[in-house]
Amino acid sequence: MPMSSRKRLSAEAGCRLNLGLAAAIALANLYKLLLLPLWLLPHSAAWAWTLLPLGLLDFTLWALIHEAVHGLLHPSRGVNESTGRLLACLFGAPFEVLRRGHLLHHAYSRTERERTEIFDPARQSRTRFAFGYYARLFGGLYLAEAGAGALLALPRPCILEFARRVDRSDSVLAPMFRGIASPPVLRSARQDAAAIAAAYGFAFLCYGSLFWILLGAIALRALLISLSDNVYHYGTPLGATRFAANLRLPAAFECLYLHFNLHGVHHGEPRLRWFELRGAFSREGGRFEAGFAAALVRQLRGPVPA
């Protein structure tokens, strides 16, 4: 578990901690995918309840992937890439899908291309927009990221044609898939997608008739990741690409989330490593816009007219 948010880590110690956390997360997912169905569930289905607390580690898993996306997980590019790809495969989505989607988020946040809850009443009804909004909020975002791997199996011209068809001024899908369609990037993403299909396909075989337990664990991940994705941006000023809310969390959960709740600091200085965020927050006299739980609930108000 990471140090208290009040303590500082050297860059070298931080890198060692990152690799240790990555190994621990990998072992937790090995337990989820293989050890639980093969050795524990045959003795008692009650072991399935262990997946509930393990679900909280999906926040840590995403936070580590996020570090790799920004090239901050490890100073060695090779180690950063390979570790990021391994963690992304355990997460269930190709690393390049997560990387390009997130970097586009930084580029376009709160602009017309990337403002999740904002709709134009002149172009579409609130009811129609709300259906997609709530579907995204309650798991759809993660399922779209995971499902992108299937699209990558198509020939490259088909992927480019898909990007052309979905190219709209209010979406980052087109630039994301055009970037992924670059031959070396596409090769890497396809390898990740194949690894994910093999790992999760084998895991479902291991669960057998209890496959619904693994489905439940995936559904929990989809809910947690999707529900928290836009929590830092809901209702924030439009056009302010470098702005995000800092949300208050209890110290233990802030450590579990690797200070990802200090999202305003991250957007302002995206080159800061996770263990540098708390120090920057304090130096800048940072304040919390709201509590994390309150911000989660606030999103349930739904779409906001432009």
Q: What is the pLDDT of residues 67-89, one digit of tens each?
A: 999 999 999 999 999 999 999 99
The type of residue at 158 is C
End-to-end CA distance of the chain: 42
pLDDT given for residue 12 in this prediction: 86
Please give the average per-residue pLDDT across 224-230, as a whole number: 97
pLDDT given for residue 2 in this prediction: 45
Torsion region of 34: left, alpha or beta (phi above 0 gives left; psi -120 to 50 gives alpha): alpha
> Nearest-CA neighbor of 37 among 200, 189, 174, 169?
200
Contacts of 192 (CB under 8 A, 6+ apart): 85, 88, 89, 94, 95, 96, 149
Q: For residues 129 and 174, what is the distance between their CA atoms, to the nearest angstrom?
A: 20
For residue range 247-297, list pLDDT tens digits in order.
999 999 999 999 999 999 999 999 999 999 999 999 999 899 999 999 999
For residue range 229-260, list pLDDT tens digits in order.
999 999 999 999 999 999 999 999 999 999 99
Find the length of the chain.
306
For residue range 113-135, list pLDDT tens digits in order.
999 999 999 988 999 999 999 99
- The tokens describing 53, both together, are 């607390």
pLDDT given for residue 306 in this prediction: 86
Q: Is the pLDDT of residue 198 over 90?
A: yes
Band of residue 8 on the pLDDT scale cut at 50, 70, 90: low
Torsion (CA) 267, 62, 17, 261 in degrees, nearest 10: 40
Q: Is 6 exposed, middle or buried (0-12, 13-18, 19+ CB in 10 A)?
A: exposed
> Nearest-CA neighbor of 105 among 95, 96, 115?
115
pLDDT given for residue 11 in this prediction: 81
> Nearest-CA neighbor of 62 among 92, 100, 19, 31?
92
Q: Is 57 exposed, middle or buried (0-12, 13-18, 19+ CB in 10 A)?
A: middle
Q: Is the pLDDT of residue 51 over 70?
A: yes
Q: Is the pLDDT of residue 66 over 70?
A: yes
pLDDT given for residue 10 in this prediction: 81
- Other beta carbons within 10 angstroms of residue 54's beta carbon come to 18
Q: Is the pLDDT of residue 50 over 80?
A: yes
pLDDT given for residue 100 in this prediction: 97
Contact 266, 276 (CB under 8 A): no
Q: Is the pLDDT of residue 4 over 60?
A: no
Please give the average per-residue pLDDT across 150-177, as a whole number: 95
Higher pLDDT, 143 or 12: 143
